[in-house]
Amino acid sequence: MTRAAAPDAAFEHRSFGAPGAERTVFLLRMGASALSDPLPDTTARRDARIVAVGLTLDDIDDPVAYRGTTPAEASARGISRFVDEERRDRPIGLVGVGAAGELAIRVAALVGSGVDRLALVAVPRPESELGGYEVAELLGTIAAKTLVMNGRDDPDAASAAARWFAEGLPSARVEMVPQTSSPESRLVLAEVWERVLSHVAPGTLR
């Protein structure tokens, strides 16, 4: 297990799972649990190295009227360089959760064929029309097989959001989760971690 700052000391990250595994999965999310293993027992059953990158609201900020490079664009460039350094010239899996989902899309677009599997979990659609247009353009460039998982009754990321992302992706599968343990019906990553890993780290079950 490692815990350190990513390049440029901008992003704290932590690695868990199998250190020498051929398959690497990058996990992008925010919050107090961003650097924690979503479900250790499930992770341990996979021959995969997971690199969790902790993000803040400032890292994903993408104001539509911003002049020059937005914070989200700068973050995506920094993380994509980190991914390229860490993936050991092999394709990787990428997971974006909640508000970090759009940043995961930006990273996938920048890394290109270096990302062969992408999972978007409980990701709300862009709030503004202009923001939606920009994200939609990025979606069309992503060749990775993508899994979109949303909670059926999630107040921010339900079926309409899942369909919006899937319609813009060249290769996407939508799976809706009917029930969650959250009182607010929000999708919790730990509840779907096994399914997410089966997508972004295929063929790694021990």
Give pLDDT tens digits for 116-148. 999 999 999 998 888 899 999 999 999 999 999
Classified as helix, coil or strand, 74 is: helix
Give pLDDT tens digits for 41-85. 999 999 999 999 999 999 999 887 666 788 999 999 999 999 999
What's the burial of 157, exposed, middle or buried (CB within 10 Å: 0-12/13-18/19+)? buried
